[in-house]
């Protein structure tokens, strides 16, 4: 939830200053990716208010103020209030996530911690596994990468990506990506041994969730979304389409 503007303004306006460099963003999308972005530009400016009903009310000066605050929030992880010519607002960054790994490339999966090496092309949709023994979860696909944690034998994992030409999986536990584990320490989850697995080759895309608030005169709007960075800058992420409910045929309705 976005904090009230008055609470943020009470801290004083943040200076833009020098942005923190993120050395953990993916450089480019995989050849098979079709990740989409939302909002585009308005008059040559990135439109970071594209998810708001008040977006069309913002002046150029408003969009400039919002843009500077938005980028700072994404890089630093700190709430950023802003004030333009006739509008004001606040950007509140939240948790990290990854796009371009799930069946729909716009769908995102939570990222337990930032700092993973994401400059890898991966085979997606590899299914469920279990650890055959204690396993180090590493920040990259190699023994030279930092061991972030150790998971016990039997831990259920999802292989969200298999590094192409490397024996390493990018794995998620309980719906959040934790890091890399060597394939030799995994086995297909019971009951899934015969299931076909494997999807398009893609590169994961680093994203950050956020909430925003905009006030234009007496009108106020709050919304949530995400922005992703492919190595060329932050862009608003489009939301994946809502799943279509499957029709269940009830034998009792047949005559």
pLDDT digits (tens, 9 = 90+) for 50-62: 989 999 999 999 9
CATH at 159: 2.30.30.40
The encoded tokens of residue 88 equal 């004001």
Question: Is the same domain home to 71 and 145?
Answer: no
Residue 129 lies in a domain: yes
Residue 114 lies in a domain: no
pLDDT bucket at 134, cuts 50 / 70 / 90 = very high
Cα separation values, 211 from 32, 48, 54, Å = 30, 11, 15
The range of the structural domain enclosing residue 76 comes to: 5-12+24-94+207-226
Phi, psi dihedrals of residue 26, rounded to the nearest 5°? -70, 145
Question: Is the same domain home to 175 and 218?
Answer: no
Residue 18 lies in a domain: no
The predicted pLDDT at position 37 comes to 53
Question: Is the same domain home to 131 and 173?
Answer: yes
pTM for this model (two decimals): 0.78
What is the percentage of the chain residues whose pLDDT exceeds 90?
69
> Which of 15-24, 38-47, 187-196 is predicted most confidently?
187-196
Residue 215 lies in a domain: yes
- 93-129 residue pLDDT tens: 999 999 999 999 999 999 999 999 999 999 999 999 9
The count of domains in the chain is 2
Question: Is the same domain home to 169 and 136?
Answer: yes
Residue 236 lies in a domain: no
CA nearest neighbour of 49 among 11, 17, 87: 87
How far is the C-alpha of 251 from the C-alpha of 64, rounded, in Å? 60
């Amino acid at each position: 939830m976005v904090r009230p503007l008055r609470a943020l303004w009470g801290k004083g306006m943040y200076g833009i200053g020098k942005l923190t460099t993120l050395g953990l963003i993916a450089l480019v999308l995989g050849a098979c990716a079709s990740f989409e972005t939302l909002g585009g530009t308005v008059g040559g400016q990135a439109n970071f208010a594209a998810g708001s009903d008040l977006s069309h009310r913002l002046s150029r000066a408003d969009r400039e103020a919002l843009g500077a605050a938005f980028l700072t929030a994404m890089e630093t992880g700190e709430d950023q209030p802003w004030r333009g010519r006739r509008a004001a607002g606040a950007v509140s960054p939240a948790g990290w996530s990854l796009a371009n790994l799930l069946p729909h490339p716009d769908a995102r999966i939570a990222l337990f911690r930032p700092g993973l090496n994401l400059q890898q092309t991966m085979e997606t949709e590899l299914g469920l596994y279990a650890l055959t023994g204690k396993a180090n979860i590493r920040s990259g696909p190699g023994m030279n990468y930092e061991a972030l944690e150790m998971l016990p034998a039997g831990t259920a994992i999802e292989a969200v990506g298999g590094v192409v030409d490397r024996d390493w999986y990018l794995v998620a536990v309980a719906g959040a990506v934790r890091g890399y584990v060597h394939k030799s320490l995994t086995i297909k989850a019971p009951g899934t041994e015969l299931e076909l697995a494997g999807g398009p080759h893609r590169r994961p895309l680093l994203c950050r969730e956020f909430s925003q608030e905009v006030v234009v005169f007496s009108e106020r709007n709050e919304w949530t979304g995400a922005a992703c960075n492919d190595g060329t800058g932050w862009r608003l992420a489009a939301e994946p389409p809502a799943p279509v409910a499957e029709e269940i045929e009830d034998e009792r309705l047949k005559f």
